[in-house]
Structure 1
Amino acid sequence: MGRRAVNVMEKIIRWLKEASQKVAEAIYQPFKFSELATIKQLEEKRDYYKENSNASLYTYLIKLGRNKRTKFGKCIKNFINSTKTSSEESSIIVMENIRQFMNEMKNYLIANGDVKYDKEVIKAKSKGPKTFDLDEILENVVCELVLIPLKEHLDDLIFREFSPSVTLVMEVMYHVRESSLHEVGVKAPLRPFSEEELAIIRNDLYKIQTSDLPSEKLKYFLAAVSSIFKFTKSYISGRKVDICTDDFIPLLIWVLSQCRTFTVEVEALYMCYLLNPSIMLGESGYYTRSLLSAGALLNETNKIFRNSATDVDSCQCSNRIEESSKEIKMVIIDQLNGLPLNVKTIRLKPNTKAKDICSVMARKLHVKHPEFFGLFMVVDGKAKILNDNFRLETIQESVQRDLRSKNCFFIYKEINKKLAWPFSNY
């Protein structure tokens, strides 16, 4: 890495440190963190709506929603069809519409439930009065009937909108992983987490990326936060210490980078816009907003990095463009779970073809059956598989004509295997 690039990254780390402290002050709460009560509550309520006392009500409502002859079922069918055929491309607007519609359907059931609905509610309440929560049951029903059928469409919108920023976050996280806790803004003298501790946190963060329901994502995220608190120890005494609010966001950024959770901003937006609004009022809302702030900071760091990197004279800029046209950005994925691991830059030789890159990747990744793998190109969120004899130089020439608006990267993967969300819509 050149001296100028090192200076740019030093500026980024300093900015990240200052910005994370300002964000922590903006959402400050006057207490120190301890074991999350929300975690225990979620574990106690896990699948309670499917238990014997509530199974009959839950099953009845699911059948009611899937019956196209009922008004409830017709409303759900029409909304799903209109959302899928809509020209709206903003995933955030679509998520807002989904959340609003789910709230309306819950209110409709409460206000216009038939006689059988009332009987099922009374029966479920009498069997389990301590665990009965009608709002929670209705929330899981509308998620099953509305959100799950629209998940693939929503993923497609998110993929096109956020895949360029995700690949850039990969690059920033690479540099954050090389930094100490103090360098990213953690004031307390904390020791770095061990590999075993990071593996436990990474497992929960991975489950966030593979879960469909926002409530499931929240459960695993809070479990990861709980593990962070559990493993936080003093660098001096080795004893467990509480985390102040000023240190939480920079510590979270460092942990997310170590665990390679590149979709941090997308996951936070998904939870913020689709979770039951009542959940966002307490601890859960605070930690979800903290995750969103961490993702926003990483994304802003990308913009600063790109602006700083282009702040050179015209001669240097033209040389950089000429050199970058001879390179491609390759996203390395985990062949087992399909999640992105890292991003690498591969220098192209003259007349390099797609099959040449496939041969190099198969050798480096120790692929046993390379004939089942292929090279995929993603430009501005749109992906396609490349022919073996396709010359990559022609792609780079077209992409480099408009460096500011286009983001191009490549993925080597098994042809018939889908990648994990949000890279799942190939």
Structure 2
Amino acid sequence: LTSWKSDALKASRSVFFQLIDTFALEIGELKKEMVQTSPTMDKEPSPHCGGVGGERDSGYDSLRRRMSVLDRLSQTHPVWLLLAISEEKANHILLKQPPGVFLVRKSAALQRKVLSVRVKEDQSETPISHFPVRESQYNQVLEKAMHKCVLKPLKSMIEVALHDFQVSSGAWQQLRENLALAKTKRPQELGVDGAVPPDAVAIEKIRHKFLNMRKMYSPEKKVSLLLRVCKLIYTIMQDNSGRMYGADDFLPMLTYVVAQCDMPQLDTEIQYMMELLDPSLLQGEGGYYLTSAYGAMALIKNFQEEQAARVLSSEARNTLHQWHRRRTAQRSAPSVDDFQNYLRVALQEVDTGCTAKTLLVHPYTTTEEVCSLCAYKFKIPNPENYALFLITEDTSQQLAPDTHPQRIKAELHSRPCAQIFHFLYRRVPNLNLCIPAVMQNGNCLQVE
């Protein structure tokens, strides 16, 4: 896919230079996320980087007031992005460039992205200005700018290249035939066990969302819409049966829905998202559902008349593992999602009351695995008599062994109205459950 992007860029150089003005406009948004750095912030400050005396603006505002709109549009254009170079090397590169050229580099000292800009010497105290980008916001600004300036004009060319490759290899025709075959199958023949599938109205609604997803150029927005589709399917499954389902139940249902939508273009959409989505976003719910969509499409690609498509082939699994390792290999620092991989679980006993522990639980960890971890942490001699429960203000529900507590927690947190909930590990025969009403330092206390 990277080579296709490179070829497309070479074939449309005139289009690329037209993007310069567009990117310049995005700088107006980017400046909001910048603060002027002082020479002491980097490990090895460059003599070209001036200091900061007292309070002042971001530095970009002062430069902006001295430059006309025409100057900003004509002199500001991107050259290098996300280079792992030092400030000294950045200064060495930019001093040879005309004013307006900039690069985005990674600062080891600041642990964040820094925008280094070559400016006119009569418009600034130094020829090079450096602007750290706030880590909490840079993705929403830089990624948005890059998507608009690069992906938006290249989207149609990327889609054509992927489609032509599928047609020439025969994969497109095979996919159409398999989709047509899978569409004729009942949910049970695709591995759905017990859950009631979406009706025709819901299928049409989901298909309409997939069509809207195809119009988007941002992989992040595509994944966001895919997330809503998958949550809609989960909601339908749970509302129709009154119980929660795990990944083993969801994947066959997603396969059935994709087959009913009969859109072979979804295969290209999944590849587009898998290759262009920010790797840091692959660790959350978006990455989970994107992986599920890949699995559903892989099942359809390998669907055969004589057997139900219930499990991924070893080839598909290996491809998926290789993709995940390749796309996450550059992640060095832990993301916010890494710190959210913790689950607070309380143990309720008749004699000792209620105590709680914080456990490391990843998104793909099942309830059965969490129960085993609880038995070890709480030193339970007979874990077969215990289970994990989801406790809300007015309900208590035992979680199925193949459900994912982290997914359940994320779902509850994402609801518009905040809802108090707890995960409780307790003895199954004890039906006289006391719902904790007081929490202190994460531990539930008995109410007398």
TM-score range, shorter chain: 0.3 to 0.5
How does the TM-score come out when normalised to structure 2? 0.41
How does the TM-score come out when normalised to structure 1? 0.43
Which has a greater percent of strand?
2
Bigger relative contact order, structure 1 or 2, given CA contacts below 8 A and separation 6+? 1
| Bigger radius of gyration among the two | 2
